[in-house]
A and B are shown apart, each in its own frame.
Chain A
Amino acid sequence: MNTVEVKGLVKTFDGHVRARRRGRGDQVRALDGVDLAAEPGEYLVLLGPSGCGKTTLLRTIAGLEQPTEGEVLIGGNVVNGLPPRVRQIAMVFQSYALYPHKTVLDNIVFPLRAEGMAKDERDRKAKWAAELLDIQPLLRRKPRQLSGGERQRVALARALVRDPAVFLLDEPLSNLDAKMRATARDELKRFQERVGTTTIYVTHDQAEAMGLGDRIAVLEHGRVRQVGTPQEVYDDPADTFVATFIGSPPMNLVRRDGRLVGFRPEHLLPVENVPADARVRMPFQVERMEYLSGDRHVYGTVTGIGEETRVIARLPATVGTPLEAGETREFAVPAERLRFFDADGGKRAAAVPIGGSP
């Protein structure tokens, strides 16, 4: 039994008021037939560009939005029409939404008081959660006296005490500065591993998605493009959207006979660095180079395997080949690293042989 499942979910926003407020102009179909399931204990990440419907999906699961069509199941029960409070969920908002007028302790026990739990029990649970997240010294403070990371932990503690069937996290790291973010991400992961609760996590940051998710669901225009482990979505993208959305720099795509031939920048290397048995060679004209944390990003044009296309090659520090802007060199990609897409729909297509001369 899946902890959370959505079937054929469609959400349209009626009227222009909402669309305008969300800054999405005339787009009204926020979810366009979404099927997705999270298994018990799984860390499922919803990844997509802004406006792709990932937050709407999360809010629909939470019960903050009602779906136009389709069903939401939590613990096997259809929860359509139920208010958020009876859905056995806990949510952490992007802003953490701590009640600014309550102390940390009062924030944590707030959901328990709503349930009408006895005071001893409440305090015991709050202490347990505070200990787990290491925030006991902060219990008497007000939210405004906390740092961003501490706020996140308080929000998590508040979510934890409810014993929810699922945690819903809406871009919880986006309000932190870059340095905090790495630590907070690590904390989030370890926290989930310890409590083992199913978690659905929304983000637009692929590094977060790759680092945190057991599985990643890539969304675009209200549709799920691909669901899979981080490795699957990276190595075997289902279509050109996923291929170019994930990976930095994105996958190179070269048009050839109604197909798009794709390969990751790190697989495009000077020919002598690619095993000779199965490689695809191509002349690469170097235009300019960037030196980024040990890697060389080389921008240039390839010819020979299809139409002339601008691509990026990422050479690791171990590749010492001297390169100059303006020169043309022989590069190659291992044949098994090539991915093929239909040029029209962008979907994965069968491999076609390319003059794989060694």
Chain B
Amino acid sequence: MTAGSGRPKAGLADRDGFLAWVMLLPSVVYIIALVGVPFLLAIAFAFSDVTTGDPSFDFVGFGNFAEVFDDGVFWRSLRNTLFFTLVSMVLIVVFGKILANILVADFHGKWFVRFLVLLPWTTPVALSTVSWLWFLDSIFSPVDWVLRNLGLIDANVVWLGRPGTAMASVIAVQVWRLTPLAAVIVMAGLVAIPRDINEAARIDGAGFWRRMFEVTIPLTLPVIAVAGLFGAIMTFTDMTVPYVLTRGGPTHATDVLASWAYFRGIEGGDVGQGAAIALFLFPLLFAGAIAILRAVRRLEAR
């Protein structure tokens, strides 16, 4: 009876160090090829005169940036992006937190309520936005019909035709569609709170609101931060809602960096300028990512 005789010796499939690399490598190679390389390419394009019609690469230095900066639309879309992101984020966090608290409560028909609540997020965003296009239609909008019949307005608002209401509409749709995601993330934090902490607080005589503000919220703060940053990043980089709902209009009132980059780079054919605009997303995005990491770290340290 000798150990190992006539049986396989330690093969490659036993070596943790080797396996760890081999199993990870395909994903890493794939991500480098289709995220890392395109990212570098995007930087290269921003310094070139590549257009859809003339794909030859010529270095033009900061020419694209200079042109982009001279264009008032860029600054407008940058302001729009920041405003759009900030307001949406705050609303998404507040509503997401409320929604999460409702969804973890115990009640009959919870499954169906959850199903309805998830609809806005699971629907392809382009489709739900098309539906909203109808609800905010200049003539047939059901929203306006209700307001008219309640006697609140005399004539239709034409939501998407005026700069202020157009922005409000874009924000509303964005908040409506991302709130369920924030709620799901916050739910994850809520269910992770040990039961006995809440029970101890009850025995200590804390009511619902006191428990909410002194136990639940402090303990889920990192998760709430993650939800908020997810909302911010997805709003910040999103162009679907403005693209489908308003096409950036009226007169660029709802253009954001992402949609402006698309109009320039794909529909306008000026890849170099489009890339230069898109590149502006990066520093802010990077800051957001760092913030998410910090929040996750704190979550871990808890």
Q: A86–B8 contact, CB under 8 A?
A: yes
B62 to chain A minimum Cβ distance, whole angstroms, is 46
Residues in A whose Cβ lies below 8 Å from that of B4: 77, 79, 82, 86-87
Q: A88–B10 contact, CB under 8 A?
A: no
Residues in B whose Cβ lies below 8 Å from that of A82: 3-4, 9-10
B302 in the interface, Cβ–Cβ < 8 Å? no
Alpha-carbon gap, A86 to B9, bound state (A): 7
How many chain B residues sit at the interface, stated as a range, is 10 to 19
Alpha-carbon gap, A75 to B3, bound state (A): 7
How many chain A residues sit at the interface, stated as a range, is 10 to 19
A81 in the interface, Cβ–Cβ < 8 Å? yes
B4 to chain A minimum Cβ distance, whole angstroms, is 5
Residues in B whose Cβ lies below 8 Å from that of A86: 3-4, 7-10
Among all A-B residue pairs, the 8 with the closest Cβ atoms: A83-B14, A86-B4, A88-B3, A74-B3, A83-B10, A86-B7, A77-B3, A87-B3
How many A-B residue pairs lie within 8 Å, measured between CB atoms? 30
B1 in the interface, Cβ–Cβ < 8 Å? yes
B2 in the interface, Cβ–Cβ < 8 Å? yes
Partner of A165, one of B3, B11, B14: B3
Residues in A whose Cβ lies below 8 Å from that of B10: 81-83, 86
A-B contact pairs, 26 of them (CB 8 A): A74-B3, A75-B1, A75-B2, A75-B3, A76-B2, A77-B3, A77-B4, A79-B3, A79-B4, A81-B10, A82-B3, A82-B4, A82-B9, A82-B10, A83-B10, A83-B11, A83-B14, A86-B3, A86-B4, A86-B8, A86-B9, A86-B10, A87-B4, A88-B1, A165-B1, A165-B3
Alpha-carbon gap, A82 to B7, bound state (A): 11
Alpha-carbon gap, A81 to B9, bound state (A): 9
Residue of B nearest to A81 (CB): B10
Alpha-carbon gap, A195 to B89, bound state (A): 68
Residues in A whose Cβ lies below 8 Å from that of B3: 74-75, 77, 79, 82, 86-88, 165
**Chain A interface SS verdict (over half):** loop
Residues of A within 8 A of B (CB): 74-77, 79, 81-83, 86-88, 165
Residues in B whose Cβ lies below 8 Å from that of A87: 3-4
Residues in A whose Cβ lies below 8 Å from that of B8: 86
B1 to chain A minimum Cβ distance, whole angstroms, is 6
A60 to chain B minimum Cβ distance, whole angstroms, is 15
B300 to chain A minimum Cβ distance, whole angstroms, is 12
B2 to chain A minimum Cβ distance, whole angstroms, is 6
Alpha-carbon gap, A262 to B168, bound state (A): 85
Alpha-carbon gap, A81 to B4, bound state (A): 11
Alpha-carbon gap, A83 to B19, bound state (A): 14
Residues in A whose Cβ lies below 8 Å from that of B1: 75, 88, 165
Residue of B nearest to A163 (CB): B1
Q: B2–A77 contact, CB under 8 A?
A: yes
Alpha-carbon gap, A77 to B9, bound state (A): 13
Alpha-carbon gap, A81 to B16, bound state (A): 12
Alpha-carbon gap, A97 to B15, bound state (A): 22
* Chain B 7-40 interface residues, beta-carbon cutoff 8 Å to A: 7-11, 14
Alpha-carbon gap, A14 to B4, bound state (A): 29
Residues in B whose Cβ lies below 8 Å from that of A88: 1, 3
Told that A74-B3, A75-B2, A79-B3 touch, could you supply 6 new A-B pairs with CB distance under 8 A? A81-B10, A82-B3, A82-B10, A86-B3, A87-B4, A165-B1
Alpha-carbon gap, A74 to B1, bound state (A): 10
A327 to chain B minimum Cβ distance, whole angstroms, is 47
B122 to chain A minimum Cβ distance, whole angstroms, is 30
Alpha-carbon gap, A269 to B246, bound state (A): 97
Residues in B whose Cβ lies below 8 Å from that of A81: 10
B87 to chain A minimum Cβ distance, whole angstroms, is 42
